[in-house]
Structure 1
Amino acid sequence: MPKQIPFIIANEGCERFSFYGMRNILTVFLMTSLLLSIPEELRKGEAKNVFHTFVIGVYFFPLLGGWLADRVFGKYNTILWLSLVYCAGHACLAMFEHNMTGFYTGLFLIALGSGGIKPLVASFIGDQFDQTNRSLAQKVFDAFYWIINFGSFFASLLMPVFLKHFGASVAFGIPGILMFIATFVFWLGRKKYVRVEPVSNDPHAFLVVIRSAILSQGATRTQSRPGLWLTFLGFALSIAGLFFIPQIGVVAALCSALVLVMGFGGVGAWMQLERVRGIHPDEAIDGVRNVLRLLVLFALITPFWSLFDQKASTWVLQADHMTKPEWFQSSMMQALNPALVMILIPFNNFVLYPLLARGGVKVTALRRMGTGIAATGLAWIVVGGLQLEIDGGDPITIVWQIIPYALMTFGEVLVSATGLEFAYSQAPISMKGVITSFWYLSVTVGNLWVLLANSSVKGEAVTAYIQSLGLSVTAFQMFFFAGFCLCAAGLFAMYARNYRMLDNYRQA
């Protein structure tokens, strides 16, 4: 095992405590303090919008961090510098608890810092391995994910208590201290790390090949260019989407525009990619095609994230209407998620997977992820059933939320923990940071689904239709998201059957 790994793992544990420490009390703080000037009937929706807009930012900035690391500064420098930005964001939250502008500035800096380093720490771990010891990499990625949840568990348990008894400045300040410790620990290992140098001015880089394919007129220079027109359509739709800024917000609208351009541009490039053989080497063209195949898988995972991240918003708000001990805060229930992760990761690796292997079932990364998406859909059927009981006026204990938490956490371990190593192994050597950032971009798209769903139910026609079904808006959305996720699981399974696995670890 590479000796530098403990520095990265310890850094991640402290950083995750800092992130989840502030994230898991954010909705409660918004509802009880920062948004008190908003009418009570609108406050819940506004708190959810602020929360999911922040999450969108966190998982959008990996694109910037991945590009800076792969093309300009390298992973180590980018992680270190953005970690300092991250620390500044925590300081803003602690200092501006009563100032909306200052507080939102802090959220922006945390989104930039946390999002920017998010794909890099995972891929930086992968860089410490090569073809000779890559069998250890999956174990380290599991340990990496375990330590994430170790930090998240204590943050979820303690920060609501600190918020209640010591106020927002302390509750947001403690995560800031942990982030400073994380940065210092990472810096301590600086002389031990394997550093893969950035590749700049590559004439056959991913985006260069994509651009060549979209603009190519073919060998005869007279062929039609459907890929180009499709890309133009993506740009047109993205511009049209900006008119929805009043409904979903600036951040969500801009991210939606980017996703449309990337989606239509990617399909357009795929259609014309063979035209640039001879202009670019076969290795570069095949690499682009493999990346585009990978991005389809990432797109099919987005419904999982739209459900998973609502445990910190929708599920917390549901818990407010459930019976519980007086000392227990609704947001403390989230501590159950990382606690279950810490149990399920070793259980799966040492009990479940070996048991399935002895039964003749091959547990591949893609099978894990498809099963995880389906398990998450089932969790939301259960939580929708709980909502029906609440809407019916029956008192229901918060203990019942353990069932959906267990199902969704099982899905999380199969999707998220597996996906980190999967994304790294499938990425070309020169694109490790960018591809891992695309993995995290799927979280952004998942949260976009949430904002779009929240926006759609505000219309009178949709609300009237939901009422005609005898359901509350909340229950209807829960069952809608469950069906959305189960459909995605089916599509993922069908697409995964023809996906060709790659092994892109560096040579020793």
Structure 2
Amino acid sequence: MAETGVNSNKYPKSIYYIIANEGAERFSFYGMRSILATFLVAHFFNPSLNPALQSVAEAKANEATHFFVSLAYALPFLGGLMADWFFGKYKVIFYISLVYCAGHLCLALFEDKLEVFQYGLLLIAIGAGGIKSCVTANLGDQFTAANRHLLSKVYSWFYFSINAGSVLSTVMIPLIYANYGPKWAFGIPGILMALAALIFFLGRKNYVNVPPSGVNKNNFVFISVYALFNFKRKKKGSHLLDVAKEKFDAVKVEDVKTVYNVLAVFSFIPIFWALWDQNLSEWVLQATKLDLNVLGFKFLPEQIQTANALFLLLFIPLFNYLLYPFLDKRGIKTTPLRRIGAGLVLTALAFVVIALLQVEVDAGGHPSALWQLLAYAILAAAEVLVSITGLEYAYTQASKSMKSTLVAIWLLTTALGNLFTALVNKSISNGGFFAQFKGANYYWFFIGLLCFFILVYMLVSPHISERKDSADIQLLPEDSIPVYDLIE
């Protein structure tokens, strides 16, 4: 049980199991993903290294990778409902972790059988997605009013474990892949996931387990669907959702309205993820064609992506404690909407660097990977501005009872962005409409699409109203979920 008492400075024993579990799970996920795109090309889609097949092979690998990510980020919504309504967080985390382990086992044992390998990816997506919405909330459940002031420190260590797992895995697993082959490269992340499940199991007697509440019909989906099918009963001058007040709690209906206000901003987020997630697939494949001798070190293509986590760790405190206060003091108010807009612009700039690199690659050149590191730095800055700010904006603008709903919707924006990129790559691999966008043109297409969204955002964002009179405006530890876990 968690420690109780007045003004206790003792940490619940359970948090050590939760933090260790998270670090091992993130190692397993990012370790597997770090080599996924290059593995799919080399072992399934173009094992003969035929230059004529390479572009189609890379499109197939990108398609598979983005579909995988899309599914992994679509399922947290379902995992959260299973935990909150039916089974509780502990059971969902533990038993879905076993599914997760089975997926890794498929990858390690069937690295030469594409169909079974894809089933392994499906199981990992179910595992990673199913537990994602439960783990952070489970950490918060361990605290009482007496020790809740320790939450920020614990979440800092939790975030550290996430990035430690990510950095270590993206450095180590490519080396293991290069020297010992895919069986070990996929097997070791599987071992780490099994270790994560074991660690979580060993802490079972220490957890505070919040029991499931049963089906709560006063939620975003039920209220929205009811209003949609009964819109004819809407009174003149009233909000469409007001018709749901005849069946649902009136306060909850008002809370749902705040979600729709946030969706005006969220509608611009999927395009960000459609581009951002390419740094872990398309950019990795591009790195195979670059000069990887950087500052006297010889890197593997899959290791360059480690820069993302390192730059992110650097920029988060830099932006929060230096850049934002510096600009605010000089009268340049860094509102959430402005930050998001600036982040979208930086995302486009990062892809301009990548597109120019690809132009040289297409011409037979062998440019330095230093330029890709520059793109990673710009993209990490964009991530701080868009991803972290976006979720914080959602928290301040939505009512307290709808914050969990907005977490799920936020993760769905990642799923939608990756789904779009997967479909583009599917079209390329099948010789469809998007097959005309190969090489550098692929990146220029996404840059052009993002620029269109940026233009619309510039026109729309000044007219998006923000709530200023809510008691929920401040993001408080007792009703918050750490932003950083949700962007990983």
Normalising by the smaller structure, the TM-score range is 0.7 to 0.9
Aligned with 2:385: secondary structure? helix
Give the Cα–Cα distance (whole angstroms) in 2 for the partners of residues 99 and 499 of structure 1. Answer: 53
Residue 76 (structure 1) aligned with residue 90 (structure 2): yes
AA at the equivalent of 2:126: L
State whether residues 51 and 313 of structure 1, in contact with CA within 8 Å, keep that contact through their aligned partners in structure 2: yes
- Given candidates 260, 267, 274, the residue that maps to 1:292 is 260
Aligned CA-pair RMSD: 3.5
- How far 1:25 sits from its partner (Å)? 0.3
AA at the equivalent of 1:9: I
Aligned with 1:443: secondary structure? helix
Larger helix percent: 1
State whether residues 62 and 438 of structure 1, in contact with CA within 8 Å, keep that contact through their aligned partners in structure 2: no
- How far 1:52 sits from its partner (Å)? 1.0
Partner of 1:315: 283
- Count of aligned positions: 457
State whether residues 271 and 450 of structure 2, in contact with CA within 8 Å, keep that contact through their aligned partners in structure 1: no
Deviates more, 1:346-355 or 1:294-303: 346-355
Partner of 1:412: 383
Partner of 1:372: 343
- Given candidates 440, 454, 462, the residue that maps to 2:411 is 440
Give the Cα–Cα distance (whole angstroms) in 2 for the partners of residues 355 and 190 of structure 1. Answer: 46
When residues 186 and 490 of structure 1 are mapped into structure 2, their CA distance, relative to the original with a 3 A threshold, is farther
Matches within 5 A, 1:182-221: 182-216=196-230
Matches within 5 A, 1:160-199: 160-199=174-213
What percentage of aligned pairs have identical amino acids? 38
Partner of 2:242: 274
When residues 148 and 201 of structure 1 are mapped into structure 2, their CA distance, relative to the original with a 3 A threshold, is closer
State whether residues 381 and 478 of structure 1, in contact with CA within 8 Å, keep that contact through their aligned partners in structure 2: no
- Given candidates 247, 267, 271, the residue that maps to 1:303 is 271
Give the Cα–Cα distance (whole angstroms) in 1 for the partners of residues 103 and 199 of structure 2. Answer: 19
AA at the equivalent of 2:418: N
AA at the equivalent of 2:384: V
Residue 35 (structure 1) aligned with residue 49 (structure 2): no
Partner of 1:400: 371
State whether residues 397 and 466 of structure 2, in contact with CA within 8 Å, keep that contact through their aligned partners in structure 1: no
AA at the equivalent of 2:218: H
Matches within 5 A, 1:377-392: 377-392=348-363
State whether residues 26 and 162 of structure 2, in contact with CA within 8 Å, keep that contact through their aligned partners in structure 1: yes
Matches within 5 A, 1:149-164: 149-164=163-178
Give the Cα–Cα distance (whole angstroms) in 2 for the partners of residues 290 and 352 of structure 1. Answer: 30
- Given candidates 270, 286, 292, the residue that maps to 1:324 is 292
Aligned with 2:283: secondary structure? helix
Residue 102 (structure 1) aligned with residue 116 (structure 2): yes
When residues 95 and 349 of structure 1 are mapped into structure 2, their CA distance, relative to the original with a 3 A threshold, is same
TM-score by length of 2: 0.81
State whether residues 18 and 175 of structure 1, in contact with CA within 8 Å, keep that contact through their aligned partners in structure 2: yes
Partner of 1:267: none
State whether residues 60 and 425 of structure 2, in contact with CA within 8 Å, keep that contact through their aligned partners in structure 1: no
Residue 56 (structure 1) aligned with residue 66 (structure 2): no
State whether residues 220 and 405 of structure 2, in contact with CA within 8 Å, keep that contact through their aligned partners in structure 1: no
User: Tell me, which stretches of 5 or more residues in structure 1 are unaligned?
Assistant: 225-269
Partner of 1:21: 31
AA at the equivalent of 2:37: T
- How far 1:366 sits from its partner (Å)? 5.0
Partner of 2:486: none
Partner of 1:112: 126
User: Tell me, which stretches of 5 or more residues in structure 2 are unaligned?
Assistant: 1-8, 481-488
Give the Cα–Cα distance (whole angstroms) in 1 for the partners of residues 398 and 16 of structure 2. Answer: 24
Give the Cα–Cα distance (whole angstroms) in 1 for the partners of residues 155 and 386 of structure 2. Answer: 13
Deviates more, 1:67-76 or 1:108-117: 67-76
